[in-house]
Structure 1
Amino acid sequence: MLKLLPYLIILTLFQCTTIGFHETKIREGISFGENTNFRVCVLREPDITTKETEELFSAWNEELSLYNLKAEPILLDVIERPGFWGTDILGYLMSLPLTKDCDRLVYLKGRTWGDITFEVLTLGLFVGVGLKLEVQGAVEGQTNTRGYIKAKYISTIQILFTSPKSTLIHEGYHLLGCGHQLFMKECYEKIRNVKLLLTDQSRDPNFFPVITTTGKKILTREETLIYFNKD
C-alpha cells in the first residue's frame, strides 16, 4: 500500500484531468476492433470559436486513436449559458433529446466576468486553506451520454492542474462509460465491451452505445430519455 501512496496523492491532486494511469502493455494486449466513428453534438457559448472546437476534438481524437475510435463533432447552436453552476448546465443537457445525428452531447463553457470573479475567489481559497472548488467539467451519471467542459480559461490554478484539452479527454472517457480508477485496465475493458455492442441485434444501428459506470447497457437514444425521466 505504501508503494501506491505517491500514485494516490497524484491522482487526488489531478483528479480533474485523469481517469487513471495508463497501462500500455495491458492496452496493447486488448483488441479494440475496427476503426469506428461516433458523433458528438456540440453546443457552445459565443466566445468559443469553431477553430477552438476543432483543436479540442483534435486532441481528444489523438487519445481515442488508442482504441480505434474517432469523435466526429457536429456543431449545433451557439447559446448563452443556461445557468452559472455546472448542475444548471447538466440539467439543461438532460432535458434535451439526442437527435438522430447525435450519439453524445457536449456543452463547451466559455468565460464570463462572473467566471473570472469566481476564479479569483477559488484561487484565494486554494492558496489560503488548500480548498479547490473549481470544477472543470462533468458528465451525467445516469446514461453517460451528456456532459460539459470549461473550454476557455487562463487562471493560474487552472493552468497548474489542467487544460481544456485534457479536460475534454477526461470527460470523454466518462462519455465512453469509464469511471475513476487508479489504473486504466477496467476502462480499457469497458471501451472494448462498448465496441462489441456494435454487433448487438438490439442496438439502434444509428446509435453508438454505452455501458454506464454502473454497468447498464444503453443501446438506443430512447433509453437515455427513459432514464432521465424515471425520477
Structure 2
Amino acid sequence: MITRIYYICFLLTFVLQCTTIGFHEKKIREGMEFGDESRFRVCLITEPDITKEEISDLFTAWNHELKYYNLKAEPILLEVMERPGFWGTDILGYLMDRQLTKDCDRLLYLKGRTWGDITFEVLTLGLFVGVGVKLEVQGAVEGYTNTRGYIKAKYISTIQMLFTSPNSTLIHEGYHLLGCGHQLFMKDCYERIRDVKLLLTDPSRDPQFFPVITTSGKKILTRPEYLTYPNSE
C-alpha cells in the first residue's frame, strides 16, 4: 500500500511538471476580473527542422489557454539557427546574452530534434523504466526576469508522448513567462496574471513592453538587460 501511494504521488508530480503549472480552479478563475484583451509579442529563435505549421499549432494551443485571461501571444520569428549547445543550460545561457529588442516582450527558443536527442531519449527511457529516474527536460524559463525560455518543440519519445506534448510544454513554460511558479492549484497563478495585467496602467511602465511580476515577486516594467545566468523555472 505504501509503495502504491508513493508511486501515485510520484506520477502526479511528474505529470504536473510536464503538462501545466497546477490544477485549474474554474470557479475561482471565473470569479476574477482579468480586464480587456491584451497582447504580448513572443520573439522566436528556432532550429531548422521547426516548420511554420508547427509554430502555428503551438501558438494556437497556447492562445486557447490564454483566452481564460483575455490574453493573446503573438509570435515573431527572429532567427533560424543551429543549436548553441546540447543541454538546456547552453540554450538558456545563449538567450541570456541576447537583448530583447523593442519588438519583443518575451524571447522563446524552439528546440528541434537531432540524432543526439534521439540517442538521449532512448537512454532516458531505459532509466525511467528501470529505476524511475527522469532526466529529460522539456523546457525551462530563466527565473530572474521570466522573460526568456525554451521548449522542446519536436519529439517522439515514448515517455514524452505518454505524459506531455510540445503544446502542453509551451503552455507550461508560457505560465512561467507570465510570472507563475509551480503550485498544486492555480489560484496564486491567476492572481499573478491579474496583477501583471494591472501593471499595464502603471505610469512607470515602458509602453512598448508587456510587464511581468517574477516568481519571486519582482515587478519588471521595462525591457530587462543582463548578461548573467540566474536560476530557471
Question: TM-score higher than 0.5 here?
Answer: yes
Shift in Å, 1:226: 4.3
What is residue 44 of structure 1 aligned with on the other side? Answer: 46
Shift in Å, 1:139: 0.2
Select which of 196, 200, 212 maps to 2:202. 200
**Residue 114 and residue 175 in structure 1: after superposition, are their counterparts in 2 closer, same or farther (change >3 A)?**
same
**Residue 170 and residue 78 in structure 1: after superposition, are their counterparts in 2 closer, same or farther (change >3 A)?**
same
Give the conservation status (yes or no) of the 8 Å contact 1:179–1:213. yes
Aligned residues: 225
What is residue 115 of structure 1 aligned with on the other side? Answer: 117
Structure 1 residue identity aligned to 2:191? E
Identity of aligned residues (%): 78
What is residue 83 of structure 2 aligned with on the other side? Answer: 81
Matches of 1:54 and 1:131 in 2, distance apart? 33
Matches of 1:130 and 1:214 in 2, distance apart? 31
Provide runs of 4+ in structure 1 moved above 6 Å. none
Query: 1:93 aligned to 2:89?
Result: no
Matches of 1:152 and 1:213 in 2, distance apart? 27
Give the conservation status (yes or no) of the 8 Å contact 2:138–2:151. yes
Give the conservation status (yes or no) of the 8 Å contact 1:142–1:228. no
Give the conservation status (yes or no) of the 8 Å contact 1:11–1:18. no
Residues 96-143 of structure 1, C-alpha deviation per residue, up to 9 Å, x if partnerless? 000000000000000000000000000010111111110000000000
Give the conservation status (yes or no) of the 8 Å contact 1:11–1:20. no
Shift in Å, 1:16: 1.9
Structure 1 residues 22-61: aligned runs within 5 Å: 22-61=24-63
- Any unmatched runs of 5+ in structure 1? none
Shift in Å, 1:11: 3.6
Give the conservation status (yes or no) of the 8 Å contact 1:139–1:175. yes
What is residue 175 of structure 1 aligned with on the other side? Answer: 177
Give the conservation status (yes or no) of the 8 Å contact 1:142–1:227. no
Matches of 2:69 and 2:229 in 1, distance apart? 32
Shift in Å, 1:9: 4.5
TM-score by length of 1: 0.94
- Any unmatched runs of 5+ in structure 2? 1-5
Residues 27-75 of structure 1, C-alpha deviation per residue, up to 9 Å, x if partnerless? 0000000000000000000000011101100000000000000000001
**Residue 10 and residue 123 in structure 1: after superposition, are their counterparts in 2 closer, same or farther (change >3 A)?**
closer
**Residue 218 and residue 127 in structure 1: after superposition, are their counterparts in 2 closer, same or farther (change >3 A)?**
same
TM-score by length of 2: 0.93
- RMSD across aligned C-alpha pairs, in angstroms? 1.8
Matches of 1:7 and 1:99 in 2, distance apart? 45
What is residue 220 of structure 1 aligned with on the other side? Answer: 222
